[in-house]
Structure 1
Amino acid sequence: MFPTVEQCVSCVQVCLDLTGLYIPIYLVRLDERNSKLVILAGEEIEVAIALDKEWVFLE
């Protein structure tokens, strides 16, 4: 299973925004259960990117 092009573009944008604020990115992973890209960054930041490239902060 691979991420969509839209997910990849959103992932790069989110990663650029995070690293621009000097927040380290620890993990980028495709969750095969729901096809979302998940980014773990900083101390408590979790971002999920859906198939339609919409991203949200997870709590």
Structure 2
Amino acid sequence: MLPTTEQALACVRVCQMLSNLYKDIRLFRFDDKSGEVYILSADELQIIVYRNGEWEFVNEPELSANEFYRIESLRCGKPRRH
């Protein structure tokens, strides 16, 4: 099994987001049984990227308001303020 195009593009966006936040990427793994990508980053951020290109945090990270704003703008395509 190979990653889908949507999944591959989402992985690039997530990795770019992490890089923009100066977070090291410690592990990047494609599970060929489940078809999911697992990303482990600095501060123990854990992210799953699903085959449809959607992604989510496995754990709820402690992010500053600025970091959260930047992540949401990448996830949704437009910024959302809380």
1:34-45 pair list within 5 angstroms:
34-45=34-45
**Matched position secondary structure for 2:46:** strand
Structure 1 portions without partners, runs of 5+: none
Larger radius of gyration: 2
Tell me the number of residue pairs that the alignment of Structure 1 and Structure 2 aligns.
Answer: 59
Q: Which amino acid in structure 2 is aligned with residue 41 of structure 1?
A: S
Conservation of the 8 A alpha-carbon contact between 2:7 and 2:51: yes
TM-score (norm 2): 0.67
Structure number with the higher helix fraction is 2
1:46 aligns with 2:57: no
CA-atom RMSD, angstroms?
0.9
**Matched position secondary structure for 1:12:** helix
**Matched position secondary structure for 2:43:** coil
Q: CA deviation at 1:56?
A: 0.5
Conservation of the 8 A alpha-carbon contact between 2:6 and 2:52: yes
Structure number with the higher strand fraction is 1
**Matched position secondary structure for 1:52:** coil
Q: Which amino acid in structure 1 is aligned with residue 24 of structure 2?
A: P
TM-score (norm 1): 0.91
Q: Which amino acid in structure 2 is aligned with residue 54 of structure 1?
A: E
| Large movers: runs of 4+ above 2 Å | none
Give the fraction of aligned pairs with identical amino acids, expressed as a percent.
37
